[in-house]
């Protein structure tokens, strides 16, 4: 069969492959929930320290080994290996890592847990509080001590309810539970998925990124910065597609998506500071994050230029 004909057949089959991938991944989640839900309920109903710790360890093992392992197997059987992943240094599952990443799609989470699987402890994400209501997933994420951050309205900010302090308390409370155990904490600094409309509305000076929100990162470092062995700086660049990015991922179009993991040393003078109360420290911290973001923006420009013209990338998909 001519190459062009094979490509056309493959393109017509992508929705079928995407549906099969979704169904199989959902089945894997439901099977794993047989163990996840009882452990989560036990932790909620018997909040004793020893019991909570044992339940959390069981939850992390179920999510980190059979669930992620099943997803990797499904994806590779239907789509082949992830070809665009580059890790510049080996990680260690016995150590703790702080991960930052740009955020374009729900598929980011699947790519990140895939990239870190058996290389680092099972990741905990900073999540929007609304996600706690997602059936099964939200409850299990709560039980695994993932921090849920609120989206504060303008009215709350105007009323001087100090929403930043609430997020600080949540971050400190959750991060204290991580002390003494290997953990990977992931923070999408943009706070939401990127889109060109959001970039313009928020006045971002970056071409491929929204402005970073530094508070959550600063709070995590203040709570347990001495425990982290390094900062894993992740850059994700998807291939151009006319589908939403999540659907494109399920359909197997993103096996060549670029996923770059670079390990950086955490600046000692930024690990333990008063981000809220010390304006000088806050300025230095924001300057450091903005330098990382400028480097990431430049890296994304190179990655996108190697894949397709920027106009094609932007017009060819919507974030999902």
Q: Is residue 99 part of a domain?
A: yes
Residue 18 has a pLDDT of 97
What lies within 8 Å, CB to CB, of 153 at 6+ separation is none
Cβ 56 vs Cβ 143: under 8 Å: yes
Residue 177 has a pLDDT of 78
In the beta sheet, which residues pair with residue 127? Answer: 148
What is the chain's mean pLDDT, rounded? 86
Q: Is residue 9 part of a domain?
A: no
Alpha-carbon dihedral sign for residues 113, 92, 95, 193: negative
Q: Is residue 30 part of a domain?
A: no
Listed in order, strand segments (DSSP E) in the chain are 85-87, 96-101, 123-125, 127-128, 148-149, 184-188, 228-237, 258-264
pTM for this entry: 0.86
**φ and ψ of 236, to 5 deg:** -120, 125
Other C-beta atoms within 10 Å of 253: how many? 23
Q: Is residue 56 part of a domain?
A: no
How many angstroms separate the CA atoms of 263 and 91, rounded? Answer: 9
Confidence band, pLDDT 50/70/90 cuts, at residue 317:
very low
Q: Is residue 249 part of a domain?
A: yes
SS3 label, residue 123 = strand
SS3 label, residue 184 = strand
Q: Is residue 29 part of a domain?
A: no
Confidence band, pLDDT 50/70/90 cuts, at residue 157:
very low
Higher-scoring residue by pLDDT: 158, 62 = 62
Residue 319 has a pLDDT of 47
Q: What is the CA radius of gyration of the chain?
A: 20
Query: How many domains does the chain fold into?
Result: 1
Residue 259 has a pLDDT of 94
Q: Which domain holds residue 129?
A: 82-316
Per-residue pLDDT tens digits for 45-79: 988 888 888 999 999 999 999 999 999 999 999 99
Cβ 100 vs Cβ 187: under 8 Å: yes
pLDDT exceeds 70 at position 223: yes
Q: Is residue 63 part of a domain?
A: no
Q: Is residue 281 part of a domain?
A: yes
Cβ 39 vs Cβ 58: under 8 Å: yes
CATH number of 125's domain: 3.40.1130
């Amino acid at each position: 069969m001519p190459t062009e004909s094979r490509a056309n057949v493959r393109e017509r089959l992508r929705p079928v492959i995407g549906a099969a991938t979704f169904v199989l991944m959902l089945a894997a989640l439901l099977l794993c929930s047989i163990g996840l839900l009882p452990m989560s309920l036990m932790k909620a109903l018997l909040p004793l320290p020893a019991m909570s710790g044992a339940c959390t360890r069981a939850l992390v093992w179920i999510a980190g080994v059979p669930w992620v392992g099943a997803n990797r197997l499904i994806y590779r059987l239907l789509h082949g290996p992830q070809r665009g992943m580059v890790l510049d240094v080996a990680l260690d599952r016995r150590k703790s890592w702080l991960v930052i990443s740009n955020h374009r799609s729900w598929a980011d989470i699947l790519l990140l847990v895939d990239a870190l699987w058996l290389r680092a402890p099972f990741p905990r994400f900073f999540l929007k509080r609304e996600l706690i209501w997602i059936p099964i997933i939200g409850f299990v994420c709560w039980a695994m001590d993932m921090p849920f951050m609120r989206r504060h309205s303008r009215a709350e900010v105007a009323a001087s309810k100090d929403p930043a302090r609430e997020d600080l308390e949540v971050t400190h409370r959750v991060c204290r539970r991580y002390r003494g155990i290997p953990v990977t904490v992931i923070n999408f600094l943009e706070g939401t998925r990127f889109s060109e409309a959001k970039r313009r509305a928020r006045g971002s000076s970056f071409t491929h990124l929204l402005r970073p929100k530094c508070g959550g990162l600063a709070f995590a470092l203040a709570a347990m910065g001495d425990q982290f062995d390094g900062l894993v700086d992740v850059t994700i660049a998807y291939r151009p597609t006319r589908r939403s990015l999540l659907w494109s991922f399920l359909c197997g179009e993103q096996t060549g998506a670029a996923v770059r993991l670079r390990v950086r040393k955490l600046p000692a003078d930024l690990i333990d500071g008063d981000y809220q109360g010390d304006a000088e420290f806050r300025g230095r911290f924001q300057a450091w994050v903005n330098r990382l973001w400028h480097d990431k923006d430049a890296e994304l420009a190179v990655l996108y230029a190697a894949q397709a013209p920027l106009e094609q990338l932007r017009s060819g998909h919507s974030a999902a």
